[in-house]
Structure 1
Amino acid sequence: MKKVSLILLTICLFLASCQQENFGPLNTADQGDEVSQEMASTIAANFNATFAATTFKGESTNARLSSKEKTVKEVTPFRDEVGKPLYYIITYKEGGFVIVSAEKKTMPILAFSETSNFPIGKELPEGVKETMFSYKEGIKKIRARAATPDDRVVKEWRRLEDTEAVKALVQKARNKSAQPNNEPVDPPCQDSQLYVTLSTAAWGQGTSWNSQMPLENTFGCSGLPNGRAYTGCVATAMAIVMNFHDFPNTYNWNTMGANQFETARLMRNAANSVNMSYMCFGSGANGDAIVPGFVSSFGYSSLASYRSYNLTTITTEITTWGRPVILTGYRSGSGHAWVCDGFYEYYSCSGGTYAPMLYMNWGWDGSYNGFFSTSGFDPMGGSNYYTGLKMVTAIRRP
């Protein structure tokens, strides 16, 4: 099994880290105001700084702080039908992105990645497209309600708006790294983050991955990558999970990767196991076929199940059992399957636990991969804009 990274991150804000005055006065009157592009950039920069100021095991805090300084490449606003910003996507020259809400009645950070790219101006993969649609509809719904923002939401905006407090946090982290043995025996309450990643492969559906798929002329198409059918998101998600488990033993897992026959063979066999349908615009399979495919074709445990999305179950699969999950969702006749393999949660002494994020591996050669707010699947406690969002859990060896 691939290496599992489970890191409990502790942020020492100040000796009185739980005191609200660290983040300036609370002003709820303007919490529903539109967030400007400049403010969104500040929020993203401050989020990156607080994330980088956290100590990781076996790693120098100063080295981490230095390595995580990023230069903004582009800030792209996404607007509603009347031109009002809904959220901003901030990308960085060094890689990585942060998606910031343009509405102060929602949590400020909708998604982020330290390393992945978020290409702007290209057609989004289905799973990403539907998630961003959910954010859009959730924000519009909250604006229409004109409700008072949740207290935790207000505090989180205040925390990330206060650049001076963030600078002090970073300096304290550097000081702590220089004097690691000066911590009190019983320190005061400290804000903390739980960050879990299972590190699944950044594989895709097109060229090289599809080198064993049917030739395009066998189903009346032309112009497809490599002259062959796409692997399909279901086959790619299954292959990524099997690569994580290094099972079954009939494959040489040491040779897996791009431009490798063994990877393409795994993709084709996964497609066969779910009776993949090949079309000119993509390849598709029914989500109900995933579990039988794992069990009957690849010898995985019969305990695997396909059922409705449940955040608690997914969290347990990732943080307790160390197993990636496959998610499926559909809307307006299109659907997608992808891998969920990470969990992020922030705890504030003053605000409690904020809405967790899940790490999504979209199966698009690493692009768009990152932590996405779970509100995208049940926007702010409201309607789910996917149809029949489901999960495949307990995917493990027999």
Structure 2
Amino acid sequence: MNFYTTNLYYVMKTQPKQLIYLLFIIVLFSCQKEEIALELCHNSLNPSSDDVSLDLASEVALNFSNKAKFQNQNNKLKGSSSETNFIDREIGDVLVAPSEDGSPALYIINFNPKGYVIISGTQKESPILGYSENSTFRLDSIPITIAFWIADRMDKIQVLKNIDDLFIPDNIEYEWSYQRAPDPELDPITDPEELPEGMPGGVTLEQKGPLLETTWGQWWGYNTYLDPINGELPPTGCVATAMAQVMKFHEHPSTYDWSLMPNTYGTNETALLMYDIGDAVDMTYNLNGSGADMVDAKNALVNDFGYSTSVNYINFNVNTVAIELSHNRPVIMDGYHTYYTTSSGWWIFEQTTHHYEDGHAWVCDGYKRNKYCTIYNAGKLNEYREYDYGPYYLHMNWGWSGSGMGSIDNNGWFKYDDWEINGVSTSDGTHYNFQHKKKCIIGIKP
């Protein structure tokens, strides 16, 4: 099972990338264009009560941008106060991805001066699908990984929209209610005795990471020592870049001078590291993408680079990933965005072959989720509290920054559960998002 990275010029010719460009409608918030924006979103539509309007998406986005979950990430990591670093954001460009009937499937809302949030176009799904506190989502620099992720989310939201009698879990309704209200951490309830039974008692954030500081890629500065193919240097491969970034985090082994490897661009020392990794995993180099087997990656970490024998290659499990990250161990993830089957033979001798194509490897280096408190019998002797957890958001470092794809603007937090939403499976073999045969390398430590 080889995982390949794709040449920039090749990627721009592929159908998924073009599809994403065609599906987006750019809505600019300005005095002159506000009426046009609303017309673009609602022209000739009879929206259902579960559809999310542009006004509602904007309301949720602004509230979310002021909540502690969005504002305080860097403050908590750096130990500074939220008052000093609070950023007052305004809505900038809005990208609307339409569903089959023309109603919005999702909104990507950029903030001024920075940051963006991805909002579901239906209240049958969680409101916040992904976000970044410090980046801007740009149509001219969408890496193929993000394009596939967006295509998959749109497809699943369409499935939800098509089911009229879909049961919506309480936690989904609570999330929408919470995102439309002020942040309890910024506007706390001062008198618990005024709370009736079963009222929200606040939300706390569980977070780890992002752990990586690197935004490495696969091309210029990283592939210096590779052999040319037809006069051009091939990419290092996504497996090598993912491994290199995790090794840089641990600064192991000591045979490399890690101080000579900057976080944002490649040097000779960085290129030497990636060359050695490629040699250790038996990388197959190609101008359109360099590939390696993830089992070889796991073995190379232990046998060639001196990492613990605890390194293991397993099926993806979000709880396992969260445990790894809580112990300061970034996880190398991989998956395929194309899956199909073929049959051969006849009658009882017929055999089905499963095909997985277009794989990618990247690093997951952070997680976060909300912990919701509900207070019962507030102010009484029998007062008690119950806690529920929101979905995990995983921080992905896609390893594309050196390819010219601009993924440094798209690394961010993404909702993890991309196979099945609210019990509705859409994995029919035609979807993207590297959702098929998703696995990960865990236990990476010196």
TM-score, with structure 1 as normaliser: 0.78
Preserved contact between residue 119 and residue 127 of structure 2 (Cα < 8 Å) = yes
Q: Which of 368, 375, 380 is the matching residue for 2:417? A: 375
Q: Which of 62, 69, 73 is the matching residue for 2:83? A: 62
Q: For residue 436 of structure 2, what is the amino acid of its counterpart? A: T
Would the alpha carbon gap of residues 169 and 198 (structure 1) be closer, same or farther in structure 2, given more than 3 Å must change?
closer
Matched, 1:301 2:308: yes
- Structure 2 counterpart of 1:287: 294
- Structure 2 counterpart of 1:215: 228
Preserved contact between residue 77 and residue 88 of structure 1 (Cα < 8 Å) = yes
**What secondary structure sits across from 2:304 in the alignment?**
helix
C-alpha separation between the residues in 2 aligned to 1:169 and 1:312? 27
Preserved contact between residue 132 and residue 376 of structure 1 (Cα < 8 Å) = no
- Structure 1 counterpart of 2:243: 238
C-alpha displacement of 1:209: 2.0
- Structure 2 counterpart of 1:170: 186
Matched, 1:342 2:366: yes
**What secondary structure sits across from 1:349 in the alignment?**
strand
Would the alpha carbon gap of residues 367 and 215 (structure 1) be closer, same or farther in structure 2, given more than 3 Å must change?
farther
C-alpha displacement of 1:233: 1.0
C-alpha displacement of 1:287: 2.3
Query: Which structure 1 residue ranges, 4+ long, deviate > 4 Å from structure 2?
Result: 52-55
CA deviation vs aligned residue, 1:291-318 (integer Å, no higher than 9, x gap): 0121222121222111111111111101
TM-score, with structure 2 as normaliser: 0.70
Preserved contact between residue 233 and residue 287 of structure 2 (Cα < 8 Å) = no
C-alpha displacement of 1:353: 1.0
**What secondary structure sits across from 1:376 in the alignment?**
coil
Q: For residue 294 of structure 1, what is the amino acid of its counterpart? A: L
Moved more, 110-119 or 55-64: 55-64
Matched, 1:394 2:418: no
**What secondary structure sits across from 1:318 in the alignment?**
helix
C-alpha separation between the residues in 2 aligned to 1:359 and 1:368? 11
C-alpha separation between the residues in 2 aligned to 1:38 and 1:211? 50
Q: How does 1:1-398 map to 2 (within 5 A)?
A: 33-51=50-68, 52=70, 56=76, 58-65=79-86, 68-126=87-145, 128-146=146-164, 147-162=166-181, 165-166=182-183, 170=186, 189-200=201-212, 201-217=214-230, 227-257=232-262, 258-319=265-326, 321-332=327-338, 333-350=357-374, 352-365=388-401, 366-383=408-425, 386-397=435-446
C-alpha separation between the residues in 2 aligned to 1:94 and 1:71? 7
C-alpha displacement of 1:290: 1.5
Preserved contact between residue 211 and residue 330 of structure 2 (Cα < 8 Å) = no
C-alpha separation between the residues in 2 aligned to 1:35 and 1:195? 28
Would the alpha carbon gap of residues 156 and 304 (structure 1) be closer, same or farther in structure 2, given more than 3 Å must change?
same
C-alpha displacement of 1:216: 3.4
Preserved contact between residue 89 and residue 112 of structure 2 (Cα < 8 Å) = yes
Preserved contact between residue 198 and residue 323 of structure 1 (Cα < 8 Å) = no
Q: How many residues align?
A: 340
CA deviation vs aligned residue, 1:352-391 (integer Å, no higher than 9, x gap): 2111111111112223111111122544444455221001
Q: For residue 190 of structure 1, what is the amino acid of its counterpart? A: G
Looking at CA atoms only, which structure, 1 or 2, has the larger radius of gyration?
A: 2
**What secondary structure sits across from 2:80 in the alignment?**
coil
C-alpha separation between the residues in 2 aligned to 1:368 and 1:322? 23
Q: For residue 438 of structure 2, what is the amino acid of its counterpart? A: L
Q: For residue 230 of structure 2, what is the amino acid of its counterpart? A: N
**What secondary structure sits across from 1:250 in the alignment?**
coil
**What secondary structure sits across from 2:366 in the alignment?**
strand
Preserved contact between residue 242 and residue 362 of structure 2 (Cα < 8 Å) = yes
Q: For residue 150 of structure 2, what is the amino acid of its counterpart? A: M
Would the alpha carbon gap of residues 117 and 251 (structure 1) be closer, same or farther in structure 2, given more than 3 Å must change?
farther
C-alpha displacement of 1:212: 2.3
C-alpha separation between the residues in 2 aligned to 1:282 and 1:324? 24
C-alpha separation between the residues in 2 aligned to 1:88 and 1:109? 10
C-alpha displacement of 1:112: 1.1
CA deviation vs aligned residue, 1:220-239 (integer Å, no higher than 9, x gap): xxxxxxx4111111111000
Moved more, 351-360 or 331-340: 351-360
CA deviation vs aligned residue, 1:32-87 (integer Å, no higher than 9, x gap): 5221223222211111101256574832221132xx22233321011233323211
C-alpha separation between the residues in 1 aligned to 2:254 and 2:419? 35
C-alpha displacement of 1:102: 0.6
C-alpha displacement of 1:119: 2.4
Would the alpha carbon gap of residues 93 and 299 (structure 1) be closer, same or farther in structure 2, given more than 3 Å must change?
same
